[in-house]
Amino acid sequence: MKASVIGAGSWGSAFALHTGRNNIPTKLWIREKDVYLEAIRSHENKTFLPGFIFPETVSFHTDLSAAIQGSDIVFIAVPSKFCRNIYREMSSLISPTQIIVSLTKGIEKDSLKRMSEVLEEVLPAHSRSRIAALSGPSFAREVADRHPTAVVVASNDLQLARQLQHLVSNAYFRAYASNDIIGIELAGALKNVIAIATGICYGLEYGTNSVAALITRGIAEITRLGIKLGSRKETFAGLAGIGDLVLTCTGKLSRNRSLGFDLGKGKTLEQVTSQMKMVAEGVTTTQSSLQLARKHQVEMPIIEQIYAILYERKAPKDALFDLMSRELKGE
């Protein structure tokens, strides 16, 4: 099997490093010219994943056609706001036999579609049955460091998910198969918003009581929306649900948690994002998820308050007060 990885941010680079170590010939497509030239020179992505040398099984490309041609599987790891344009560029290049796997955790801003839905809309009809998504608690640097990691590969075609499961797994990277692609993608996207909330708590110097409450009530909100949209409840109790949520809410490598931390310290959203080298998906997902919640009449109070902080300049302490003073209910 041969693979392509589209996108050379930290996650795309770490995944190409992983597949290359699995002795899968891998083409890594790099948009940024300076990153490409550095990778050619040093076999390292010093901008987004410094300290890791790619094996000889990984090659580097700036031409999208050359990066895709001849591969059996195309993994896509670009921020959600760029996905539709990349998918369009890819649409005429994808062959009927290639498998397409989304590594992106986000929801498209205006359409409110998951990434696999955008793929189905943009790619040729022959590709729609060969789409999958990979998600779960997987910081790029820890995967690159070979820390034991478990993820979920999901597709409407469970046999396809199982095929991918065997392809990407090894002694330190274990994949589980699922056919609940709706739940996998929703959980992976929405956990970033809750991570902003927990980051704010850390920035305000609140303790682990506050963080535990946000994680617990956060997964309740995500599950409510997921079930409404057709996913299974048990998905949110698994790796892509509570597993990824705990990681992103508590891990110091989380960009969304770090963004929330700075907001809790009093910085504005503009100040924080202007200093970030990589995208924090939770910023745009906050808008999309709130729109989805309102469209489907699902109560998501944490999402609502994070939206107010990010886009209405509400003070974090006021948002917390409003959450805590809501009408008392049964769990």
Torsion angles phi and psi, residue 107, rounded to 5: -125, 135
> pLDDT value at position 57?
98
279, pLDDT greater than 80: no
Global pTM? 0.95
d(CA 216, CA 221): 9
Residues 6+ apart with CB under 8 A from 184: 133, 135, 152, 154, 178, 235, 240
Quick one: pLDDT band at residue 231, thresholds 50, 70, 90?
very high
pLDDT above 70 covers a percentage of the chain that reads: 100
d(CA 165, CA 179): 12
Residue 151 CB-half CA count within 13 A: 29
d(CA 105, CA 236): 15
d(CA 130, CA 96): 9
Architecture of the structural domain at 3-179: 3-Layer(aba) Sandwich (3.40)
278, pLDDT greater than 80: no
The answer to whether residues 239 and 323 touch, using CB atoms and an 8 Å cutoff, is no
> pLDDT value at position 203?
97
274, pLDDT greater than 90: no
Task: Compute the average pLDDT of residues 3-8.
Answer: 98
Residue type, 64: L
Residue type, 229: L
d(CA 70, CA 49): 26
331, pLDDT greater than 90: no
- Collapsing DSSP states into helix, strand and coil, what is residue 4? strand
Please state, in angstroms and as integers, the Cα–Cα distance from residue 133 to each residue in 90, 175, 198, following that order. Answer: 17, 12, 26
Domain ranges in the chain are: 3-179, 182-324
22, pLDDT greater than 90: yes
Return the active site residues. 191
- In SS3 terms, 70-107 reads as CCCEEEECCCHHHHHHHHHHHHCCCCCCCEEEECCCCE
pLDDT digits (tens, 9 = 90+) for 86-145: 999 999 999 999 999 999 999 999 999 999 999 999 999 999 999 999 999 999 999 999
Other beta carbons within 10 Å of 119: 27
Is 182-324 in CATH node 1.20.1250.20?
no
